[in-house]
Structure 1
Amino acid sequence: MAVVSTVLPFGSWPTPITSELVVTAAVRVSGARTDGDAVYWAEARPSEGGRTQIVRRDPDGTTTDLLAEGFDARTGVHEYGGAAWWVRAGVVWFANWTDQRLYRLAPGGAPEPLTPVPATPRADRYADGHLHEDSLLLIRERHDGPSAAEVRNEIVRIAADRPTDEPEVLVSGPDFATSPRLSRDGVRLVWMQWDHPSMPWDDVVLMGRNLETGDEAFIAGGPGESVAEPQWQPDGSLWFLSDRTGWWNLYRWVPGEDITPVVVLDAEIGVPGWQLGSSRYAVLPGGRVVFARWSKGYDGLAVREPDGEFTELDLPFSAIGSVAPYGVGSVVIVAGTPTEEPGVHVVSVDGDVETLAAPRDLGIDDGYLSVPEAVSFPSVTPAGEPRTAHALYYPPANPDHEGPADTLPPLLVVIHGGPTAAAVPVLSVSVQYWTSRGFGVVDVNYGGSTGFGRAYRDLLKGAWGIVDVADCLAAARWLAQRGVVDGTRLAIRGGSAGGYTTLAALARADTPFSAGADHFGVADLEALAADTHKFESRYLDGLIGPYPAARETYVERSPIHHVEDFHTPLIVLQGAEDAIVPPNQSEAIVEALRARKVPVAYLLFPGEQHGFRRAENIRRALDAELSFYAQVYGFDAPEGIDPVDVENL
């Protein structure tokens, strides 16, 4: 018997994908690692206040939460964190979010602090550890004062099994130093370093030091080259990623010899180093290499045999978060698909898959899930020359409802953060929240995004607020011209850097957008240059120009200085404790729009930082944004959603 769909206005379709489903029992899985036959991973849990738990899975399938209440394995290094815990022989070392000290957790015991109490709370932060015999090498980020100039990033060494009065400093001087890795004989230390105004995807140097002689040597990287993920192998060789060919590929170096390529493809093995501890390849016993690679907007897994032959594994995964060796012929990965959230899986070199931590069962029919299509569309350079941009388009999907025959769906143009990042084709329940209600969603990989090679990534150099905006406008207009979406109901939304692009796209007289949502975005580039954390304190040099020498460009591209062209209704959502994009950015644009009587809604979330982690706040932000669109576009929001107050509407 055929199922008859009910006709309702696009955007108002009832759906089981509610904000409660988005956060109920939701976890963000990351950082799978192995310790003998046991597998460990981290889970960020909104239902526990956003804390990160470490989970162990034993060979018999038993899983155990390792951290007692009050502990949170998360580091504040670079503000974005990553690489906050390590494991060996059942012992776990982790950085605790509350005090940022390093702790050791032995089996059956309680966490014991290893690092001293800093002069001021949370002033010393630790991450990216490397265990070698009875010592632990790691990053220490020391905050000697409130400004970015008073932050020191060093590589230090401590005892792995007892408290340390003061860590031994091994590397100091560069603005940033990461990835300390000691050769298995304990003689050669390598690390990555870079200085302002570079970012870790720009000009990164791989350095080495003989700890017996003190001799230091440059290994790879430098101007126009970014290196990542150095790993010592049992044969004494060092493997690492480099984008020297225009793509993050894999290389091998033996002290005293030349660097040789291992995997060279027109695909990205590496990912941008926003967070520490990326793991995109694993060298297995016998010389096989299993690696993840981005190509044409999708991720995948491949195997390189010792003789150089490549095999693409036929897997359902479209986004891979980490790769770790497991036994002789397998790896453990964190990976998801367009219809499943990331889980933890064991994958053999033959392509067999065993799931260790399954994605949550949403309990809904697949008909509610929109599968993205990778699309390319025409855009232009800042000089007006034609070029190609990329995106993922999600059509509306709901088996029970359809829109009126004479109408088209509204479109949400989604802008990823970064801006040096990418739209990821993995199931996001928060995207399906919109598509199952009748919205089309286009997630734009604008020029400057990663996954398309260095040349595409560098399109945003000196052109932030131009190239990204052009591509978002082009994506919306292209879909409307093709008759896919309603060209009169184009909305744009983004968080952080995506929030800036949202505001920049709206603060222009010719904007095609009729609504916008700014999640903790940048309104005033000058204010951001003067008030942000060390890691990004010179990021804008490359995206816009050195400040204050390029002050006119900062003013010209700041949405706050173009409010006279701003007539589009806007909702703004902001964390009260955001140290990356402080609340004054959101409040400036809100006050300016209020003064001009432009429709605006503003929600400030106490206790939230950069990106919302608490379940109740994630729910409120989603539902408030839906209420906002319902009021702007004139459809009914579902019952049970508290309406948001839109001033001046």
Structure 2
Amino acid sequence: MGARRSCFAATPWRRLLRLGGSVAALLGALVWWQEPAAAHAHAHAGAPGPAVQALQLPGAPGEPDLPAYWFRPSEPEGVHAPPQPVVVALHGCAGLYRRSEMSASALDARYRDYARWLTARGYAVLMPDSFGARGKPRGICSERFDSRAIDAATRRADVLAALRWVAQQPGVDAGHIVLLGWSNGAQAVLATLDGSRGWPVGTPSVERAVAFYPGCNQALQQRDFRLRSPLLLMIGGADDWTPATRCVMLRDAVKARQPDVRFQLQIFPGAYHGFDGSDALHLRRDVPGGARPGKGVTVGGDPAARDAALLQLDAWLAAEEP
């Protein structure tokens, strides 16, 4: 995997991140999350968001077209902007929406806030909806993992279709695509990055990837799981839905096969599933899996872990080579 020069490497912002290190990353993170956690959910209610286009994303062969949302950074008038890097962002098992309506205005606050944060840093953001077109806009969290019709292979096919669509869009840099996912979407990140599987001709590669609290067990069970792109994986040390111990084992197995691959694992002690959100910590009893089957799983935000994760994410995106 050769070094790739960042498309923003020549800009003052990217130079500041390289030279300023964690201090610059801190300043960048505070652009979004400077409010107390209790106020976070409503802090940006009146703030203008990035321009968003609702569209139908052509699906993989044999699969339905997908509802998707395409966010573009604002560009100063009269300034010739360079091609924009892209983040393809993959929702978790609860789906994209905070209510049953399938629209940009109904997107969950987590995804709207991430779109704002990423576009403020110059990224176009594509959020495909893997569930709505398949009749499950409210998600699949309560379904048993081994009986889900929308599995890792399905979501991987959706990701590959999304990558091909991105490569055809004007004004974007298809050589700088970041794949980012949460929970079930993070498992789709792992499935997509699995280097033991073939890569379709004509599909652009992923420059780097980010996985928030995935279930690592499925990838761990594969005998020859390998990474085809650098990966930042962030997870809570107290996560009782997708335990961090499995991701440690996955990291170690991958590093044993690929000593030179960049697999950065960040564990936040005491944080639970969904630590980067703003919901209060609560127990979900409708989830059949987890570390304690039948007893529910703990989900909720952790302000300290959330802020630290944003620092890690900012630095990961800013690095010329992750």
Query: TM-score, normalised on structure 2?
Result: 0.68
Measure the CA separation in 2 of the matches of 1:520 and 1:616.
16
* 1:18 counterpart residue number: 28
Change (3 A) 1:390 1:513: same
Distance change in 2, residues 1:587/1:377 (3 Å): same
607 and 493 in structure 1: CA distance in 2 versus 1, 3 angstrom threshold: same
Please point out which of 113, 128, 131 is paired with 1:444. Answer: 128
Which of 171, 187, 197 aligns to 1:500? It is: 187
**Over residues 172-219 of structure 1, what are the superposed CA-to-partner deviations in whole Å (9 max), with x where a residue is unaligned?**
xxxxxxxxxxxxxxxxxxxxxxxxxxxxxxxxxxxxxxxxxxxxxxxx
Structure 2 counterpart of 1:582? 243
Paired AA for residue 206 in structure 2: F
Residue 293 of structure 2 aligns with which residue?
none
* CA distance, structure 1, for counterparts of residue 77 and residue 223 of structure 2: 43
Q: How does 1:228-377 map to 2 (within 5 A)?
A: 342=42, 366=48, 369-377=49-57
Partner of 2:88: 413
Q: 1:389 pairs with 60, 66, 72, which one?
A: 66
Question: Relative to 1, partners in 2 of residues 1:403 and 1:572: Cα closer, same or farther, differing over 3 Å?
Answer: farther
Cα displacement string for residues 262-297 of structure 1 (whole angstroms, at most 9, x for unaligned residues): xxxxxxxxxxxxxxxxxxxxxxxxxxxxxxxxxxxx
Match of 1:422 in 2: 96
- Structure 1 position 426, deviation (Å): 6.0
Partner of 1:514: 207
Contact 2:84 2:172 in 1 (8 A): yes
Q: TM-score, normalised by structure 1?
A: 0.36
Deviation at 1:441, TM superposition (A): 0.8
Question: Is contact 2:216–2:242 with CA below 8 Å preserved after alignment?
Answer: no
Greater share of helix? 2
Point out which structure has higher relative CO (alpha carbons under 8 A, 6+ apart). 2
Equivalent of 2:303, from 591, 595, 615? Answer: 615
- SS of match in other structure, 2:51: coil
Report the identity percentage.
Answer: 20
Structure 1 residues 562 and 629: alpha-carbon distance in aligned structure 2, compared to 1, 3 A threshold: farther
Partner of 1:22, secondary structure, is coil
- 2:149 corresponds to which letter in structure 1? G
Matched, 1:573 2:265: no
Secondary structure class of the residue paired with 2:251: helix
1:489 match: secondary structure: strand
Question: For residues 10 and 303 of structure 2, what CA distance do their matches in structure 1 show?
Answer: 30
1:464 aligns with 2:151: yes
Q: 2:119 aligns with which of 417, 427, 435?
A: 435
User: How far does residue 469 in structure 1 lie from its aligned partner after superposition?
Assistant: 1.3
Q: Which amino acid aligns with 1:393?
A: W
Q: Secondary structure at the match of 1:568?
A: coil
AA partner of residue 24 (structure 1):
Q
Indicate if the aligned counterparts of 1:372 and 1:425 stay in contact, CA closer than 8 A. no
Report the alpha carbon displacement of residue 379 of structure 1 after superposing the two structures with TM.
1.3
2:296 corresponds to which residue? none
Cα offset for 1:625? 1.6
Alignment partners' CA distance in 2, 1:374 and 1:451: 14
Question: Which has more strand, going by share of residues?
Answer: 1
CA contact (8 A) 1:8 1:401 kept: no
Q: Distance in 2 between matches of 1:589 and 1:10?
A: 37
Superposed CA RMSD in Å reads 3.6
Helix, strand or coil for the counterpart of 2:240?
Answer: coil
State whether residues 12 and 438 of structure 1, in contact with CA within 8 Å, keep that contact through their aligned partners in structure 2: no
Q: Name the SS of the counterpart of 2:179 in structure 1.
A: strand
**Structure 1 regions of 5+ residues with no counterpart?**
1-6, 28-43, 47-340, 343-357, 526-557, 635-645
Q: CA deviation at 1:403?
A: 7.0
User: Contact 1:10/1:403 (CA < 8 Å) preserved in 2?
Assistant: no
Cα deviation, residue 601, structure 1: 1.3
2-structure distance, mates of 1:484, 1:496: 30
Letter in 2 for 1:627: A
Q: How many aligned residue pairs are there?
A: 258
Equivalent residue number for residue 194 of structure 1 = none
Output aligned runs, 1:199-218, within 5 Å: none
Structure 1 position 409, deviation (Å): 1.5
Aligned-residue offset at 1:463: 4.1
Structure 1 pair 509–574 and aligned structure 2 pair: CA distance change class (3 A): same
1:584 aligns to what SS in structure 2? helix
Write the distance in 2 (CA, Å) between the matches of 1:567 and 1:399. Answer: 36
Rg: which structure is higher? 1
8 Å Cα contact 1:394/1:440 also seen in 2: yes
Structure 2 residue corresponding to 1:473, chosen from 157, 160, 166 = 160
Q: Which amino acid aligns with 2:128?
A: V
Structure 1 residue 592: Cα displacement: 2.2
Output the amino acid matched with 2:33: V
Measure how far apart 1:25 and its partner are.
2.2
Q: What pairs up with 1:28-67 in 2 under 5 angstroms?
A: 44=38
Counterpart-to-counterpart distance in 2, 1:521 and 1:505: 13
Residue in 1 aligned with 2:264?
Answer: 601
Give the Cα–Cα distance (whole angstroms) in 1 for the partners of residues 15 and 221 of structure 2.
36
Q: Cα offset for 1:18?
A: 3.4
* 1:39-86 C-alpha deviation (Å, 9 max, x unpaired): xxxxx467xxxxxxxxxxxxxxxxxxxxxxxxxxxxxxxxxxxxxxxx
Map of 1:247 onto structure 2: none
One-letter amino acid of the counterpart of residue 372, structure 1:
V
Kept in 2, the 8 Å contact 1:13–1:438? The answer is no
* Structure-2 separation of matches of 1:442 and 1:374: 10
User: Does the CA contact (< 8 Å) of 1:17 and 1:436 recur in 2?
Assistant: no
Equivalent residue letter for 1:373: Q
Which residues in structure 2 correspond to 1:518-597 (within 5 Å)?
Answer: 518-525=211-218, 558=219, 561=222, 563-595=224-256, 596-597=258-259
Segments of structure 2 that go 5 or more residues without pairing to the other structure are 1-8, 17-23, 98-105, 141-146, 276-300
AA aligned opposite 1:389: L
Q: For the residues of structure 2 that align with 1:594 and 1:401, how far apart are their CA atoms?
A: 47
Letter in 1 for 2:126: V
Q: Matched residue of 1:410: which SS?
A: strand
The alpha-carbon deviation at position 404 of structure 1 amounts to: 5.1
1:590 to partner: Cα distance: 1.5
Alpha-carbon shift at residue 456 of structure 1 (Å): 11
Shift of 1:629: 2.4
Cα displacement (A) at 1:13: 9.6
